[in-house]
Amino acid sequence: MDEEMFFTIVGFKNYHGLKPFKVGGLLKLIKDKVNAYDDEAIAVEMRYAGKVGYVGNSTNTVFRGTMSAGRLYDKIADEGYAQIKFIGQNSAIGKILSKEEVDILKEDPDCDFYYI
């Protein structure tokens, strides 16, 4: 993955709010292939919290400089990994992790990387 890919996390108010989010926190992205509202939906999960939201997929929910779920959908496998990079008062932005970044995190004994 040559370019950094950032995305906006939305829908967290329907789950746990921003409470489980912390900069550097690990995320699992899962294509939600049975989503009745969005054919390109990507769910966002965190350890201990489960589903915490979705990747934004409309002009009203995607921050400038971040990618929509539609743009990310074909760039990630059915499951992918990301890390929280920014948290605002009412928002969070994550960064897709490359395979190399995931491999480095898997070797870090202090990393809480439970997905792999």
Tokens (6 digits) for 71: 């743009």
Between 106 and 112, the higher pLDDT residue: 106
Q: Where are the domains of the chain?
A: 6-107
Average pLDDT over residues 77-83: 93
Q: How confident is residue 102, by pLDDT bands cut at 50, 70 and 90?
A: confident
Q: What number does CATH give the domain 6-107?
A: 3.30.70.2330
Q: How confident is residue 108, by pLDDT bands cut at 50, 70 and 90?
A: confident
Whole-prediction pTM: 0.89
Between 116 and 3, the higher pLDDT residue: 3
pLDDT given for residue 82 in this prediction: 94
Which residues have C-beta within 8 Å of that of residue 93, sequence separation ≥ 6? 6, 7, 8, 9, 63, 66, 84, 85, 86, 87
Query: What is the spatial distance between Cα 98 and Cα 4, in angstroms, rounded to a whole number?
Result: 9
Query: What is the spatial distance between Cα 58 and Cα 105, in angstroms, rounded to a whole number?
Result: 31
Could you tell me what percent of the chain has a pLDDT over 90? Answer: 71
Angle, vertex CA 109, rays to CA 75 and CA 15, nearest 5: 55
Report whether pLDDT(116) > 70: no
